[in-house]
Amino acid sequence: MGSERAETKTFHVPREAEGARLDRWLSAQLPELSRRRLQGLIREGHVRVDGKTVRKPGASLRAGSVVELALPPPERVELEPEPMSLEILYEDDDVVVVHKPAGLVVHPAAGHEHGTLVQGLLAGRRLAPAGGAKRPGVVHRLDKATSGALVLAKTDRAYYALVEQFKARRVKKIYLALVHGLVPEPQGEVEGAIGRDPRHRERMAIKPRSGKPALTRFRVRARLPEEGTTLLEIYPHTGRTHQIRVHLSAIGHPVVGDPVYGPRPPRAKRLMLHAWVLGFLHPRTGEWVEVTAPPPPEFRPYLERVEPAPLEPEPVRGHEGGPERATPARS
- Residues forming the active site: 143
Please, what is the angle between helix 35-43 and helix 22-29, to 10°?
Answer: 120
- Determine how β-strand 194-196 pairs with β-strand 204-206: antiparallel
Task: Name the H helices within 179-252.
Answer: 243-250
Q: What is the CA radius of gyration of the chain?
A: 22
Q: Are strands 229-236 and 215-224 parallel, antiparallel or unpaired?
A: antiparallel
How far apart CA 101 and CA 274 sit, in angstroms, is: 9
Is 256 within 8 Å of 178 (Cβ atoms)? yes
* Contact (CB, 8 A) for 222 and 270: no
Identify the helix (H) or strand (E) that includes residue 215: strand 215-224
The residues, any chain, with a CB within 8 Å of residue 205's CB and separated by 6 or more, are 194, 195, 196, 197, 211, 246
Enumerate residues 6+ apart whose C-beta is below 8 A from 209.
193
Q: Specify the DSSP class assigned to residue 12.
A: E
Pairing mode of beta strands 66-71, 52-53: unpaired
The count of other CB atoms within 10 Å of the CB of residue 3 is: 6
Distance CA 288, CA 315 (A): 17
CB atoms within 10 A of CB 249: 22
